[in-house]
Amino acid sequence: MVQTRSPSQKDPLFCSRCAFVLRTSRFLSTVLLLLLLLLQSARGLRISEGFAMGSKLPDAKTDPNSYQNDDRTLYHLPPPPRCERHHTERDDYDLDALATALETDGVVVLPDVYSKEQIEAFREAHSQNFSIVTKLMAGRDVRPIDKPYRHDFDTKRYYLMPHYSIEDEETGESDEVIEISPGRLDYTFGMNPYWDDDEEEEEEEECGDEKNPFASLEFRRPKILAELMDRMLRSDYKSYAGALPVSAANDNDSDDNESNSNVPRDGPWHRDVYLLFDDETVDVGLPHPYYFTVLIPLVETSAENGATEFLLGSHRQTCGEALQRSGNSFQPRIQPGSVVVFDGRICHRGRGNNTREDRTVLYMVWTKRWYNDY
């Protein structure tokens, strides 16, 4: 007679096998978890080694170059250079007030960012660079080509402007020079040595080059400007520099000679940013800024020599609304050493230079990395 085991009875051999399988699965799970932890640690180490700040990530709560919200931590790109930021002439700025002014008016003046000695060094460097640019523009093989240039205001607008393609055979640097109007140029040639954020740079390049003021930390990242951009852009931003020389009025020019092409003209009202959604009501309603322009005059700018004019608050308004408002025009008189910072969405224009002296203004553009300034 075959004996059968009731369901309540346990097979000792079966139970032993189950226990072995259970122990083995637990062991394998533990090994797998350890491997995952080791892999994550190695990945974190590689990330931390990618920062110029050291072998581990900074504390986002105390590090001024990090931004932390409720669910994530963001680190600035490009990372700060290994050396400290260059201190400005004064250190009593109210960062909160400056940020509030930018959010409310769209433009703010930072006084005494650069010293007289620094401005003089910038003037000399620009003069040498400008001589190279004009010489290359006058080359026999260089011919201006009229190309569409976006100058958005209420809608997308394109202006045909002469573009000069220049190349320095000695350095290999090439660029396009835009003739915005007769006597008014815009170029970045020679203004951005060592500014490639995507390439690893040598220590001396990151900390600046005393022989080239435009490569120096004192020009690229003055303390108050760097802190303000950190506050406004938060993380993942980039920057570059350029020049906006405007020629003086010629002796033969006269105010009533409107047909003279060399008479300085007022530039058109425009925004520095392109319309992202083909609808300015959407762009001005975006909650966070993503583009700032910094004007660095090398001479005093005023209404007489065509200082930039702004419509206060227009970075939050349509162009029609901004132009209809009265009393919102702002054309600051700026001394060399001070700078103007403005939201790229604000409506503004350059005025004509009616003096007998050139008006030279350098500029920087600070944008989120996703913005393509083509």
Query: For 231-268, what is each residue's pLDDT tens digit?
Result: 999 989 999 999 999 888 765 544 444 445 555 678 88
Helices 95-104, 223-233: axis angle to 10 degrees equals 50
Tokens coding 19: 């226990």
Q: Which residue has the higher pLDDT, 69 or 104?
A: 104
CATH number of 94-196+239-368, picked from 2.30.30.360, 2.60.120.620, 3.40.50.720, 3.40.50.360 = 2.60.120.620
Question: What confidence score (pLDDT) does residue 258 get?
Answer: 47
Cα 103-108-112 angle, rounded to 5 deg: 145
Contacts of 85 (CB under 8 A, 6+ apart): 217, 221, 222, 223, 226
Domain ranges, ordered by start, for the chain: 94-196+239-368
The 10s digit of each residue's pLDDT in 278-316 is 888 898 899 999 999 999 999 999 999 999 999 999 999
pTM: 0.71
Question: What confidence score (pLDDT) does residue 320 get?
Answer: 86
Burial of 200 (0-12, 13-18, 19+ CB in 10 A): exposed
Distance (Å, rounded) from C-alpha 276 to C-alpha 130?
A: 33
Winning range, highest mean pLDDT, from 5-19, 52-66, 111-125: 111-125
Residue 203 — pLDDT band, cuts 50, 70, 90? very low
Question: What confidence score (pLDDT) does residue 47 get?
Answer: 34
As a whole number, mean pLDDT of residues 47-75 equals 45
CA distance between the termini of the chain? 93
Query: Above pLDDT 90, what percent of the chain?
Result: 45
Distance (Å, rounded) from C-alpha 188 to C-alpha 373?
A: 13
